[in-house]
Every structure is written in C-alpha cells, then in structure tokens.
Amino acid sequence: MNALPVAVTVFILYGIAYRTYGRYLSRRIFGLDSKRLTPAHTLRDDRDYVPTNRWVLFGHHFTTISGAGPIVGPAIAVIWGWLPALLWVLVGSVFMGAVHDFGALMLSARHEGRSVSAVTEELIGSRARTLFLLLTLFALLIVLAVFALVIALLFEMFPESVLSVWAEIPIAMAVGYWVFRRSGNHAVAGVIALILLYGFVVLGSYVPLRMPGLIMGSVTYTWVVILLTYAFIASTLPVWILLQPRDYINSHQLFTVMGLMLLGLVVGRPTIVAPAVRMGIADAPAFIPFLFVVVACGAISGFHSMAASGTTVKQLGNEADARLIGFGAMLTEGALAVLVILVCTAGFAGRADWMAHYAGWEAADGLGAKVGAFVDGGAVFIGYLGIPVRIGATIMAVMVVSFAATTMDSATRIQRYIIMELAQSYRFKPLMSPHLAALVAVLSAFGLASINQGRGGMILWPIFGASNQLMAGLALLVVTVWLLRLRKPSMIAAIPMVFMIGVTTWAMVAGLVEYVDQRNYLLIAISGLILILEVWVIAEAVRAIQAVRRSQAASVEQGKAA
C-alpha cells in the first residue's frame, strides 16, 4: 500500500477534528473568553509567569510535550502492524489526548496557574492532592533520569548531532534577547535561527564530536552529568531567556523536518512494506493492553498535563489561544506520530528487511533499534528530494536529540514547581526557593541516574510507560470532577478517563505478575505502591463526585420547593 494517501487522509481528519470537536470544546465545554485575564497577567513576574505570543507559546508547548515520546513509541508499536498503531494514534489523539491536554490547561488557567495536582485539593481533597503529587514526583524523577540517559546514548550513537544541539543554546538566547528585550519580530528571528541551526547541521555531518570518558571513565556518565547540570541552570533562568526561544526554534525545526518527509512522500511515493496487522510475535507482551501503553505520547500522555499546567499555563497570554495550544498541539503531535509510523514501515527496502529489523520484541525494543528505524527511514524519505543520506541522517538525529532535550528541560522546571508547591503546603520555607527546589529535583535524578554509571534510570524504565499513562487517566479524573462541579457535560473527559485507567491498571498488574515471576523485588514494591496510590486517589474522587451529585440534587430540590 502506498504511504502517501494514508498520510493525506489522516491529516485531513485531523483538520476536521480541530475545526469541529476542538471548537465544540472551546465554546460549549470550556467557554474560552479572550477578555478574561490569565495567570500570566495576574501573576506576572517575568520569570515563570510571562504573557507570550501564541505562536511562540505553541512552539514551546508542542516541543515540550513531544520530546522523544511520539518517536520511540510508534517506532516500536508497529511491530504489531501499521494499522493498529495508526488507528490508535488517530482516535486516541483526538478524543483522549487532545481532551486531556486542553482540559488540563483550562483547569489550571481557571485556578491561578496551579498544577493539576495542586487543584486536586480543592476539587477532591487534601489527601488526594498529596497522593497525586507523590505520583507526579515519581513520574518526573524517572523522566529526568531516563531522558538524561537517552540523550547521552543518542550523542554516542549520533556524534554528528552534538555540535548542532549545543550550538542551539546560544542561538536561542540571542533570539530570546532580541524578541523579549528588543521587541524584535519573532518570525524573522525564528527563520534566521533555523538557517543558523541547519548550517551547524551540515557542519556537524562532517565534524562529528565524540565525548571522552572524563568521569569514571564512562562516556555515558560524563554526558549525564553535563546534561543534568545544564538542566539545573536552564530550569532556574527566566523562561524568555532560554526555554521559550529554544522550544520555538525546535518547533520550526520539527515543522521543517515534517515538511521534508511529506515532500519525500509525494516525490518518492514509498510503499508500506510492513504487514497491516501482525500477531503472535515471539517474546512480545500482550497486544492489548500494551499497545495503548507503548505508543504513549503519540496518542495521550500524563506528562502533557504536567507540562500544560506546569509551564504552558504560566505563559498563556490570551485565553482564546488555548484551543490552538491545548488541542491543536496534541493533534500536531499525532501527525508527527503518523509520520513516524509511515517512516518505520515504508522506509525499508522491502518486507524482508522490515521483518529482520522487527523479528521479535527483543530485537526491536532497544533504544538503538527504535531510534535507528526512524532516523534511517527518515533519511530515506528526505533522500527522495536529493539531500545526501549523511546530511539527511544528521537532520533526523538532531531533531530527535533536540526534542528529548526540551522534555528534560521542561521536566526539570515542572519538578521544581511541584517541589515548591509541596513546600508551600507544608510550610517548609527552604524548598520554596526556586534554586534550592531545582537543585533537589536535579540531585534526586542524578542519584537515580548514577547507578550503573549513568544508566540507573533504566532500572525503573519497565514501569514508566504504564505509570505515565496512569497519570493521564488520573488527570482526566480531576477534569471530570471539575466539569461536574461546573454542571458541564463531563462524559468528554469521563469516557477517556475510564478507558485509560482501565488499560493502564491492566498493564501494571500484568507487569507486576511478571516481576513476581522474576523475583524483582524493587519493581514489585514500586508497582504495588503505585497501584495502592491509584486506588486511593480513585476512592477519594468517587467520594468527591458523590458529594457533588448530592449537593446538586439538593439544590434542585430547593429550587422546586421555592
């Protein structure tokens, strides 16, 4: 089957979804009002709360939620065939992921820019809030440790990307100064920055930089230390200096790469060589529920609610921009996931090559296999345009590393917010300091990462996918309670909430059984604790929902009596 009509069909459906379902949510559910002041204005401090141009914020939010998630997830999920992965990305991103992201953004915007976990106290109760914060802290801890390792390994795999990725930092700071201090045109600055970035991409293709093992003789550990040090600095700087402009440049980079791949689709018209559906794979986990856990960010991700209510809401200059940023960015990420699926199924020479790469779960599950399929396949697509394979591969590798870095940057900043929120709740003044909170965030991730010379994050990686998706279900649970209180139609959040909590709990229980068989007591303990916290949060939410319904029923009876 030709890949081009598949891409065109899905993108048209995304456009229709944005114009119809996105508009319905904006008007009928959330009631966006351009005249209502957002937290970026009411709490403006020019460090975290900064009113931002809608397109700059779209770039920041999109690159934050994308990261490497919509690349590595679909790249492995196609092992079950391209059709199940494609359908889940399409349906999931529209009716679950976009609702989740949009809902989390608006929930936070209407509650003074507080995170979803912080708002949980008002809507459900203080115990639920503490439990939610603990789950969030745990998930972000894994994100920081794992993504530092992922970037380190990518630098080792693709040394051609090192120069471009680090050159992006001074370029971004120059853009931030020009736009926010000199009132320069952000579009012009973005184009110039992109040209400079790709100049370094070409240079890096011929000048690969390899890091020596300066710390403990380990290249990986050396990179992890450097990356976490950078994350601490980036998380404490005002957002306009580095975080916003870097993400803005990365959004230009992604759209450029997506455009090149789409042009490659049009020119090359490659054929999908993978089977539409494939079952009975050796050593693979069960197709259901693990498809919905493996794809992750391409359809829905709990990290998105942390980003929407952590950094994005603090920069939302106009509430009317929320549909573009909350709903539209998720659909754009779904479009990226669709391209990844096509690249990883139509970027091979033939069925035999694809089957060799995806022979079994162990063969396709490693980082090198997942990223390699995307980088090599993307280089093939770009190669249809006459771009040399070496430069095409570097373009793809730089994009993957850049997006993983934006996730790490934002995750550190969000973890700082979470730590400060906990400190404020329990009146522990030392951790109310942004710098000390950021230091705790980085040091805790460093402690985990330091195990096995930088690879410690992989110890908890087996439970990361399910715990991340569980966070999405719990965020939808909070949004559901909020909509019930507002007497708004709540099923738009309740249905995806029930589905996500159901499939992720199923996946976690299946994983727990496997850990028991393996006698992996650490993962048994952590998985068991997460499941207990999950049940506890749900029980608290059910009580809150029952209280809301009783209150609403009583008000109706009073109205009748009057």
Nearby residues of 394 by Cβ (< 8 Å), 6 or more positions away: 158, 160, 161, 164, 201, 202, 204, 205
At residue 366 the predicted structure's pLDDT band, cuts being 50, 70 and 90, is low
pLDDT (mean) for 331-347: 93
Which DSSP string do the residues of 406-429 spell out, in sequence order? Answer: HHHHHHHHHHHHHHHHHHHHTT-G
pTM of the model: 0.88
pLDDT (mean) for 371-381: 85
Can you give the pLDDT at residue 463?
Answer: 80
pLDDT (mean) for 34-56: 93
Can you give the pLDDT at residue 561?
Answer: 64
Can you give the pLDDT at residue 530?
Answer: 86
pLDDT at residue 185 is higher than 90: no
Q: Which residue has the tokens 């402009």?
A: 245
Percent of the chain residues topping a pLDDT of 70 = 96
Q: Left, alpha or beta for 112 (phi > 0: left; psi -120 to 50: alpha)?
A: left
Count of CA atoms in the C-beta half-sphere (13 A) of 223: 26
Can you give the pLDDT at residue 335?
Answer: 95
At residue 336 the predicted structure's pLDDT band, cuts being 50, 70 and 90, is very high
Residue type, 496: P
If DSSP states are collapsed to H, E and C, what string results for 474-542? Answer: HHHHHHHHHHHHCCCCCHHHHHHHHHHHHHHHHHHHHHHHHHHHHCCHHHHHHHHHHHHHHHHHHHHHH
Tens digit of each residue's pLDDT (9 = 90 or more) over 424-478: 878 888 888 989 999 999 999 888 888 776 667 677 777 878 888 888 999 999 9
Tens digit of each residue's pLDDT (9 = 90 or more) over 280-317: 887 888 899 999 998 988 899 998 999 999 889 999 99
What is the rounded end-to-end Cα distance, in angstroms, of the chain? Answer: 67
pLDDT at residue 321 is higher than 80: yes
pLDDT (mean) for 4-29: 96
Average pLDDT over the chain, rounded to an integer: 89
At residue 139 the predicted structure's pLDDT band, cuts being 50, 70 and 90, is confident
pLDDT at residue 333 is higher than 90: yes
Question: What kind of architecture, by CATH, is found in domain 3-561?
Answer: Up-down Bundle (1.20)
Can you give the pLDDT at residue 70?
Answer: 83
Can you give the pLDDT at residue 148?
Answer: 87
What does the block give as tokens for 484?
């019930």
pLDDT (mean) for 419-426: 84
At residue 367 the predicted structure's pLDDT band, cuts being 50, 70 and 90, is low
pLDDT at residue 365 is higher than 80: no
Q: Which residue has the tokens 């054929």?
A: 271
Residue, of 118 and 263, whose pLDDT is higher: 263
pLDDT at residue 149 is higher than 90: no
Count of CA atoms in the C-beta half-sphere (13 A) of 108: 31
pLDDT at residue 559 is higher than 90: no
Q: Which residue has the tokens 């900043």?
A: 413
Residue, of 557 and 509, whose pLDDT is higher: 509
pLDDT (mean) for 247-263: 89
pLDDT at residue 361 is higher than 90: no
CA-to-CA distance for 398 and 347, rounded, in angstroms? Answer: 19
User: Can you tell me whether residue 114 is helix, strand or coil?
Assistant: coil
For the chain, domain boundaries:
3-561
Phi first, then psi, for residue 560 (nearest 5°) are -65, -40
pLDDT (mean) for 70-90: 92
At residue 89 the predicted structure's pLDDT band, cuts being 50, 70 and 90, is very high
CA-to-CA distance for 559 and 562, rounded, in angstroms? Answer: 5
Can you give the pLDDT at residue 560?
Answer: 66
- Lowest mean per-residue pLDDT among 59-63, 372-376, 468-472: 372-376
Can you give the pLDDT at residue 364?
Answer: 61
Can you give the pLDDT at residue 383?
Answer: 92
Alpha carbon separation from 84 to 78, 203, 276, 312, 338 (Å, rounded): 8, 40, 8, 31, 12
At residue 248 the predicted structure's pLDDT band, cuts being 50, 70 and 90, is confident
**Residues across the chain:** 562
Under 8 Å between Cβ of 471 and 502: no
Tens digit of each residue's pLDDT (9 = 90 or more) over 516-549: 998 888 889 888 888 888 888 889 888 888 888 8
User: Can you tell me whether residue 367 is helix, strand or coil?
Assistant: helix
